[in-house]
Amino acid sequence: MCGIVGYVGDRPAAETLFRGLRRLEYRGYDSAGIAVHEGERISVLKRKGNLDQLEPYLGWFPRRGGTGVAHTRWATHGLPSKENAHPHLDCGEEIAVVHNGIIENFQELREELLSRGHRFRSQTDTEVVVHLVEENYRGDLLEAVRLALRSVHGAYALVFMSVREPGVLVGARRDSPLLLGLGEGENFLASATLAFLEFTRRAVALENDELVRVTKEDWELVTTEGKRLERSPYQVPFDVTSVEKGGFADYMLKEIYEQPQAWQDTLRGRLSRSGVLRIEELEEDHFDLKRIRRIIFVSCGTSYHASLLGRYVMENWMDIPVEVDISSEFFYREPRLDPECLVVAVSQSGETADTMSAVRWAKNCGAPTLSVVNVVGSMMARESDGVLYTHAGPEIGVAATKTFLAQIAAIYLLGLYLGQERGLLEPEFIRHTYERLEALSSRIEEVLQDTEMVERCAEKYCRCEDFLFLGRNINYPLAMEAALKLKEISYIHAEGYPAGEMKHGPIALLHPGFPVVALIPRDGVYGKMRSNVEEVKARQAPIIAVATRGDSEIRECCDETIYVPEVEPHFNPVVIAPAMQLFAYYVAKMRGCNVDQPRNLAKTVTVE
Ligand code: F6R
Q: Is the pLDDT of residue 108 over 90?
A: yes
Q: What is the pLDDT of residues 527-564, one digit of tens each?
A: 999 999 999 999 999 999 999 999 999 999 999 999 99
| pLDDT of amino acid 394 | 86
Report whether 567 contacts 552 (CB < 8 A).
no
Cα 233–chain centre separation? 24
Can you tell me the mean pLDDT for 286-303?
A: 91
Measured from the Cα of 299, ligand 1's closest atom is: 16
Per residue in 205-235, pLDDT (tens digit) is 999 999 999 999 999 999 999 999 999 999 9
Are 166 and 269 within one domain? Answer: no
The model's confidence at residue 28, banded by pLDDT at 50, 70 and 90, is confident
300 CA: nearest ligand 1 atom: 6
Compute CA distances 145 → 126, 149, 195, 543, whole Å.
Answer: 13, 6, 24, 60
Predicted confidence at residue 135, as pLDDT, reads: 97
Ligand 1 atom nearest to 399, measured from its CA: 7
Distance CA 31, CA 38 (A): 23
pLDDT in tens, 194-203: 999 999 999 9
pLDDT for 120: 97
Centre of ligand 1 from the C-alpha of residue 551, in Å: 34
Instruction: Calculate how far, in angstroms, residue 393's C-alpha sits from the geometric centre of ligand 1.
Output: 15
Q: Are residues 103 and 12 in the same domain?
A: yes
Mean per-residue pLDDT for 377-400?
Answer: 91
- Probe target for ligand 1 pocket from 26, 298, 302, with the most ligand atoms within 8 Å of CB: 302
CB contact at 8 A, 485 and 584: yes
Give the end of a domain, one of 220, 242, 264: 242
Q: What is the CATH number of the domain that holds 168?
A: 3.60.20.10
Residues with active-site annotation = 2, 603
Q: Do the beta carbons of residue 290 and residue 278 sit within 8 Å? A: no
Asked if residue 286 has pLDDT above 70, the reply is no
Mutate to test the pocket of ligand 1, among 176, 256, 348, 379 (most ligand atoms within 8 A of CB): 348
Per-residue pLDDT, averaged over 326-351, amounts to 93
User: Do both 320 and 265 map to the same domain?
Assistant: yes
Distance from C-alpha of 245 to C-alpha of 258, rounded to nearest angstrom: 11
- Considering the domain architecture, whether residues 402 and 496 belong to the same structural domain is answered as no
Q: Within this chain, do residues 76 and 99 fall inside the same structural domain, yes or no?
A: yes
Could you tell me what percentage of the chain is helix, strand and coil, using 3-state DSSP and rounding each to the nearest 5?
Answer: 40, 25, 35
Residue 124 alpha carbon to ligand 1 centre in Å: 25
Report CA torsion sign: 36, 37, 40, 42: positive
Q: How far apart are CA 171 and CA 163, in angstroms?
A: 16
Please indicate, yes or no, whether the overall pTM of this predicted structure exceeds 0.85. Answer: no
Q: What pLDDT is attached to residue 49? A: 92
Residue 68 near residue 188 (C-beta atoms within 8 A): no
Report CA(400)–ligand 1 centroid distance (Å). Answer: 6
Cβ(187)–Cβ(181) below 8 Å: yes
- Top mutation candidate among 605, 606, 608 for ligand 1, by most atoms within 8 Å of CB: 605
| Together in a domain, 441 and 462 | no
259 and 190 both lie in a single domain: no
**Structural domain boundaries, residue 507:** 452-590
Query: What is the number of other CB atoms lying within 10 angstroms of the CB of residue 424?
Result: 13
Residue 138: DSSP 8-state: S
Give one DSSP letter per residue of 518-567, joined into a string. Answer: EEE-SSTTHHHHHHHHHHHHHTT--EEEEEETT-HHHHHHSSEEEEE---
In a domain? residue 603: no
**For 432-474, how does the pLDDT look when each residue is reduced to its tens digit (9 = 90+)?**
999 999 999 999 999 999 999 999 999 999 999 999 999 999 9
- The answer to whether residue 285 scores a pLDDT higher than 70 is no
Same-domain status, 230 and 260: no
Residue nearest to atom 5 of ligand 1 (CA): 301
Q: How far is the CA of 250 from the centre of ligand 1 (A)?
A: 18
* Claim to verify: residue 82 and residue 161 sit in the same structural domain: yes
For the chain, the distance separating the N- and C-terminal CA atoms, rounded to the nearest angstrom, is: 11
Cα 1 to middle of ligand 1, angstroms: 12
Residue 240's pLDDT band (boundaries 50, 70, 90)? confident
User: Nearest C-alpha to atom 7 of ligand 1 is from which residue?
Assistant: 399
- pLDDT value for 226: 93
Atom of ligand 1 nearest to the CA of 355: 16
Mean pLDDT estimate for the chain:
94
Centre of ligand 1 to C-alpha 132, Å, is 34
Pocket test for ligand 1, best of 176, 330, 344, 352 (most atoms within 8 A of CB): 352
For helices 572-590 and 452-461, give the axis angle rounded to 10 degrees: 50
Q: Which of 196, 215, 242 is where one domain is finished?
A: 242
Q: What percent of the chain has pLDDT over 70?
A: 100
Examine the pLDDT at 287 and tell me if it is beyond 80: no
Distance (angstroms) between ligand 1 centre and the Cα of 446 equals 26
Distance separating alpha carbons of residues 97 and 355, to the nearest angstrom: 27
Residues 326, 238 share a domain = no
Rounded to the nearest angstrom, the distance between the alpha carbon of 29 and the centre of ligand 1 is 17
Please report the pLDDT score of residue 608 as a whole number.
77
Tell me what percent of the residues of the chain surpass a pLDDT of 90: 82
CATH of the domain at 480: 3.40.50.10490
For the chain, the domain total comes to: 3
251, 303, 326: residue to mutate for ligand 1 pocket, most atoms within 8 A of CB: 303
| Ligand 1 binding residues, C-beta < 6 A | 300-303, 347-349, 352, 355, 399-400, 484, 488, 605
Phi, psi of 328 (to 5 degrees): -70, -10
**Which ligand 1 atom sits closest to the C-alpha of 603?**
8
Could you tell me the pLDDT band of residue 102, with boundaries at 50, 70 and 90?
confident
242, 261, 295: which is the final residue of a domain?
A: 242
Looking at the CA of residue 605, tell me the nearest atom of ligand 1.
Answer: 11
Please state the separation of Cα 227 from the chain's center in Å. Answer: 33
CB-based contacts of 607, cutoff 8 Å, min separation 6? 1, 76, 101, 102, 155, 353
For ligand 1, atom 3: residue with the closest CA: 301
- Going by C-alpha positions, the residue among 368, 367, 355 that lies closest to residue 299 is 355
267 Cα: distance to centroid of ligand 1 (angstroms): 21
pLDDT tens-digit readout, 348-381 = 999 999 999 999 999 999 999 999 999 888 899 9
Residues 374 and 512 in one domain: no
Q: What is the pLDDT, as a whole number, of residue 46?
A: 97
- Residue 301, classed as helix, strand or coil, is helix
Which atom of ligand 1 lies at the shortest distance from residue 403's CA? 14
Return the residue whose CA atom lies nearest to atom 10 of ligand 1: 302
Cα 161 from chain centre: 29
Q: pLDDT-based confidence at 284, cuts 50/70/90?
A: low
Residues 248 and 238 reside in one and the same domain: no
435 part of a folded domain: yes
The answer to whether residue 595 sits within a structural domain is no
